[in-house]
Amino acid sequence: MMESELKRKFCDLYGEGQVRLFSAAGRVNLIGEHVDYCGGTVLPAALDLKCTVAARLRSDGRIRLAATTTDLTAELEIGKLDSYRALKWGNYQAGVAYILQQEGYKICGCDLLYDCTVPFGSGLSSSAAIEVATALTLATFSAENGGKTAKKEELAVMSRRAENEYCGVACGILDQFASAMGKKDHAVLLNCDTLKYEYVPVDLKDCVLVIANSNKPHSLVQSKYNERRAECESAFAVLKKALPEIACLADVTTERFETVKHLLDGKVLDRARHVVEECARVKAAVKAMKAGDIAKLGRLMNESHYSLRDLYEVTGRELDALTDAARSFEGCLGSRMTGGGFGGSAVSLVEKDKTAAFENYVCEKYEAAVGYRPTFYETRISDGIEVR
């Protein structure tokens, strides 16, 4: 929604007066999938699909929530923030407010209207965008009203805690960090163990990134996600005995892995191999990007997808069909699922002047394979958060 339209809607809902705007981005992960919760390094970028919060302070200790995408609303009392975990809509916001309050921020009453252009269920992290935009809004009000001030990294960390501890969703730091720390035309190379990061320019020469939503309805995603995490934890527990120096599974190099892999078997061995090799691919991808070797980046994206398909088993028929279709197009250098998997989106590296043909081609092939169409998004790599 246009800025002026959103402000208008806000005033229609909450009354005339000044309106502030705070936004946080959705993300695409270029490579480094299912490694964040193993202490691995990831390479996401923030998108210009975002969640914008129109906001205004109020003086009665209540936070009122509404959105442009649903008729559901919620009202939170700042003295009872612990009690909104079961809300049908608004629990992400309540969770963020609760965690900020626990961390000593001054939570102010306010009216908030959410406008999220990150498509829900797209695997592009609409929930992280909502959380980080909420954290940004509440932390700004805290700082302006004599309370604690937050750094951008802290917004990411608190947002993730809200999702883990309040909403009961086990996720790593990838989404929230990209949402808060993303930078225009750059990817964020983030070590998820130490939270050290570096910006890597995304200069794809004659190519662009094309993001396509498989439109597969999500189901059972969370339980399978938790299962994978548990498998990685058990792999780590075994390998730690042989390699006491490792602090996380991602610390195992591919060479080291070959010397200890006999300690693991079955699915746990496959999962661990994915993590170790995916971490090596991230390093290779950054090297390729810095050297301008876009073809190499494309090959690494393909390998990442194959590993997520064969070893980690999180792709599913739809994401495989989507990326197979993409790869079979001449002018596509690589394609992979992005995010948690089991549905959601894929990202492909495509020659710029062939994107329209690419989209038509993939659309047709994908529809023939699964019976419905994907959705393509016109989006660019942008700054993560913005205050207007």
Which residues are near ligand GLA by CB under 6 A? 29, 33-34, 36-37, 171-172, 174-175, 339-340
Q: Is 320 one of the annotated active-site residues of the chain?
A: no
Output the CA angle 68-221-306, nearest 5 degrees.
115
Closest approach of Cβ 327 to ligand GLA, in Å? 21
Nearer to ligand GLA, 98 or 342 (CB): 342
Closest approach of Cβ 5 to ligand GLA, in Å? 30
| Contact indicator for 367, 9 with CB cutoff of 8 Å | no
Nearer to ligand GLA, 34 or 56 (CB): 34
Closest approach of Cβ 347 to ligand GLA, in Å? 12
What CA–CA distance (Å, rounded) separates 186 from 382? Answer: 8
What CA–CA distance (Å, rounded) separates 94 from 327? Answer: 42
SS3 208: strand
Nearer to ligand GLA, 303 or 359 (CB): 303
What letter would DSSP give residue 214?
Answer: -
Closest approach of Cβ 237 to ligand GLA, in Å? 19
Nearer to ligand GLA, 54 or 337 (CB): 337
| Contact indicator for 329, 298 with CB cutoff of 8 Å | no
Contacts of 142 (CB under 8 A, 6+ apart): 100, 105, 106, 107, 108, 148, 149, 150
Residue bearing tokens 């892999």:
261
Nearer to ligand GLA, 277 or 367 (CB): 277
Closest approach of Cβ 275 to ligand GLA, in Å? 10
| Amino acid in the structure at residue 334 | G
Choice among 175, 203, 265, 383 that is catalytic: 175
In the structure encoding, which two tokens stand for residue 26, read together?
């959705």
Active site residues: 175
